[in-house]
């Protein structure tokens, strides 16, 4: 059976590497490994999402949902004093994200295991970001959108990236059905960055 980055316990043997990237004006370094998303480099969709993301106007914590080894959450943690929550179901990714936070001295982070929002209870956020696990299926992605809305405070924002070939137009329709306002913030090389708000 094939392993996927959204599996709880990847079976591939460990072979750690270091990934470096210039993100939001900062040189970032991350430990990566087999069994995690985009193990060799920070993927293009994540880069574009981080390029256009704006910190929320409202007070509150920020959530990186499906954090992987941490490029989104840790880049933001290096930029703001807000608490950055980082959630994933993949235990190897979480272990890497935790070590990356510690080695980067980014102590305004909380790394936790959660299948989507299952372990977050009634916690709300000023902003949620996600490079969603499209290979897990449209139903999973749409559930992520619905639960993100429920976990935003009033005035909160949701940011996500999807490729056109992976269903960005239909994802946009779903976002419009769930959120109070939706904008396409960027289109680059087939990647769509959506910015959705909760009133």
Query: DSSP secondary structure string, 75-126?
Result: HHHTT-SS-EEEEES-HHHHHHHHHHHHHTT--SEEEEE-STTTT-TT--EE
For the segment 43-63, what is each residue's pLDDT rounded down to a tens digit? Answer: 999 999 999 999 999 999 999
The answer to the question of residue 171 being in a domain is yes
Contact 31, 96 (CB under 8 A): yes
Token digits of residue 33: 């490994």
Q: Is the pLDDT of residue 96 over 90?
A: yes
Residue 82 has pLDDT above 50, yes or no: yes
Strand 26-32 vs strand 191-197: parallel, antiparallel, or unpaired? unpaired
Domain residues for the domain of 107 are: 44-197
Domain for residue 11, yes or no? no
Mean pLDDT of the 88-96 span: 94
Average pLDDT over residues 133-153: 93
Examine residue 164 and state whether it is found in any structural domain, yes or no. yes
Whether 39 is in a domain gets the answer no
Asked, for residue 34, whether it belongs to a domain, the answer is no
Q: How confident is the model at residue 40 (pLDDT cuts 50, 70, 90)?
A: low
How many domains does the chain divide into? 1
- For residue 173, the domain's CATH number is 3.40.50.150
Question: 10 near 34, Cβ under 8 Å?
Answer: yes
The CA distance from 165 to 77, in Å, is: 31
CA separation for the pair 139, 197 (Å, rounded): 21
Calculate the average pLDDT of the chain.
Answer: 92
Residue 63 within any structural domain of the chain = yes
Domain-embedded: residue 26: no
pLDDT per residue over 156-184, tens digit each?
999 999 999 988 999 999 999 999 999 99
Let me know if residue 5 belongs to a domain. no
Burial call 9-21: b when 16+ CB within 10 Å, e when fewer: ebeeeeeeeebeb
pTM: 0.92
Higher pLDDT, 148 or 133: 148
């Amino acid at each position: 059976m094939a392993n996927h980055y959204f599996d709880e316990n990847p079976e591939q043997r460990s072979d750690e590497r270091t990934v470096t990237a210039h993100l939001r004006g900062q040189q970032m370094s991350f430990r990566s490994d087999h069994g995690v998303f985009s193990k060799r480099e920070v993927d293009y969709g994540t880069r574009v999402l981080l390029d256009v993301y704006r910190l929320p106007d409202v007070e509150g914590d920020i959530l990186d949902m499906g954090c992987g080894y941490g490029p989104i959450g840790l880049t933001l943690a290096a930029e703001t004093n807000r608490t950055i929550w980082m959630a994933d179901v993949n235990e190897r990714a979480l272990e890497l994200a935790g070590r990356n936070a510690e080695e980067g001295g980014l102590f305004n982070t909380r790394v936790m295991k959660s299948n989507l929002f299952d372990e977050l209870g009634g916690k709300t956020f000023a902003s949620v970001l996600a490079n969603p696990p499209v290979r897990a299926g449209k139903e999973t992605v749409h559930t992520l959108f619905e639960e993100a809305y429920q976990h935003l405070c009033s005035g909160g924002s949701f940011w996500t990236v999807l490729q056109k070939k992976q269903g960005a137009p239909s994802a946009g329709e779903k976002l419009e059905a769930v959120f109070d306002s939706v904008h396409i913030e960027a289109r680059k090389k087939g990647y769509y960055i959506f910015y959705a708000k909760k009133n």
